[in-house]
Amino acid sequence: MFNAQTLELLISSFPKILVYGLKVSLPLALTAFVLSTFIAVLVATVQYAEVPVFRQICRFYIWIIRGTPLLVQLMVAFYGLPLFGINANPFLVAIIVFSICEGAYSAETMRAAMEAVPAGQLEAGYCVGMSYIQIMWHIILPQAFRTAFPSLFNALISMVKDTSLASSITVVEMFTRTKQIAGQSYNYFPLYIEVAAIYLIFCTVLTFVQKRGEKRLGNYGIRK
Amino acid sequence: MTLLEISNLKKSFDNNEVLKGIDLKVNKGDVVSILGPSGSGKTTLLRCINFLEKPDGGHLSFEGKEYDLSKISKSDISSIRKDTGFVFQGYNLFANKNVLENVTLGLTSARHVPKKQADEKALEVLKKVGMDGYKDYYPSQLSGGQQQRVAIARALATDPGIIYFDEPTSALDPELTSEVLEVMRELASEGMTMIVVTHEMGFAKEVSSHVVFMADGRVIEEGNSKEFFDDPKEERTREFLRLTEH
* A42-58 pLDDT, tens digit each: 999 999 999 999 999 99
Query: Tens digits of per-residue pLDDT, B204-219?
Result: 998 999 999 999 999 9
Closest chain B CA to residue A217: B96
* CB count in 10 Å sphere of residue A187: 17
CA angle A89-A93-A96, nearest 5°? 145
| Position B243 confidence tier, pLDDT thresholds 50, 70, 90 | confident
CA distance B80 to chain A (A): 9
| Best CA proximity match to A109, nearest among A140, A135, A147, A137 | A147
pTM: 0.89
Are the Cβ atoms of B88 and A123 closer than 8 angstroms?
Answer: yes
Residue A100 near residue A131 (C-beta atoms within 8 A) = no
Taking 60 as the threshold, does the pLDDT of residue A224 lie above it?
Answer: no
* CB count in 10 Å sphere of residue B54: 12
ipTM of the complex: 0.93
| Position A1 confidence tier, pLDDT thresholds 50, 70, 90 | low
Mean pLDDT of chain A: 93
Listing DSSP states for B91-112 in one string gives ----TTS-HHHHHHHHHHTTS-
Q: Supply the pLDDT for residue B198.
A: 93
Closest chain B CA to residue A137: B109
| Position B246 confidence tier, pLDDT thresholds 50, 70, 90 | low
Taking 90 as the threshold, does the pLDDT of residue A202 lie above it?
Answer: yes
Residue B28 near residue B188 (C-beta atoms within 8 A) = no
> Which member of A118, A126, A138 has the closest CB to residue B81?
A126
Query: Tens digits of per-residue pLDDT, A128-181?
Result: 999 999 999 999 999 999 999 999 999 999 999 999 999 999 999 999 999 999
**Strand boundaries in B109-217, DSSP class E:** 162-166, 194-197, 210-215
> Which member of B50, B95, B137 has the closest CB to residue A127?
B50
* CB count in 10 Å sphere of residue B205: 15
Listing DSSP states for B118-139 in one string gives HHHHHHHHHHHTT-GGGTT--G
In this complex, is the C-beta atom of B10 within 8 Å of any C-beta atom belonging to chain A?
Answer: no
